[in-house]
Homo-oligomer: A and B are copies of this chain.
């Protein structure tokens, strides 16, 4: 399988990490979104929404959206709960991640640390991103104060989805020190077998 991706993107890291833990080799194809490479007509055939990650299967079919890719990779494995309700809870946290977490924590990181000149260009946006991002972190802290993992009582793709941008939240100028339960969970995720860091390439 081939992953159209950007190494610095947490959404792409989710897929690299899950695939490695599942023993699924991926060929990485770097797409520079800063140069518009995800908006070419050729790329839009793979993903009409013009975003990475996009997974290309060996038969040529394409699948975009990081959390849909995680679900596809993990179905039938230990990374997705077998119990139907726990599976829905994993999705609950993955939709939370894309709606209430990523648009603030990942976006703040992009403009603070990835996009050249972004701190100055988006200076007026950071207070709102930080306010909403800390709301998301507080929701995670509340859950993790009484649970080791996000769904099904075990490490799953819900943890991978939320780990990707939480563990680099400081690159968006978030201070994670007050979130004790989140920090313990970050350490648990990082000590899972076959864990690899964001800069790792298959």
Q: Which of A42-67 contact B (CB under 8 A)?
A: 44, 48-49, 57, 61, 63-67
Listed from nearest, the 6 A-B pairs whose CB atoms lie closest are A72-B88, A68-B92, A68-B91, A65-B95, A65-B92, A48-B142
A179 at the interface (CB under 8 A from B): no
Q: Which residues of the other chain, B, contact A94 by a CB distance below 8 angstroms?
A: 68, 95
Chain A residues within 8 Å of chain B by Cβ, number = 33
Interface segment, A1-9, A25-33, A99-107, A185-193? A99-107
Q: What is the CA–CA distance of A63 and B96 in the complex, to the nearest angstrom?
A: 12
Q: What is the CA–CA distance of A103 and B95 in the complex, to the nearest angstrom?
A: 13
Q: Select the residue from A61, A64, A68, A143 with max chain B CB neighbours within 10 A.
A: A68
Contact indicator A63/B85 (Cβ below 8 Å):
yes
Contact indicator A95/B98 (Cβ below 8 Å):
yes
Least CB separation from A51: chain B residue = B100
Q: A85 contacts which of B48, B72, B92 (Cβ < 8 Å)?
A: B72
Residues of A within 8 A of B (CB): 44, 48-49, 57, 61, 63-69, 71-72, 75, 84-85, 87-89, 91-92, 94-96, 98-100, 102-103, 139, 142-143
A109 to chain B, nearest CB (A): 16
Q: Which residues of the other chain, B, contact A67 by a CB distance below 8 angstroms?
A: 91, 95
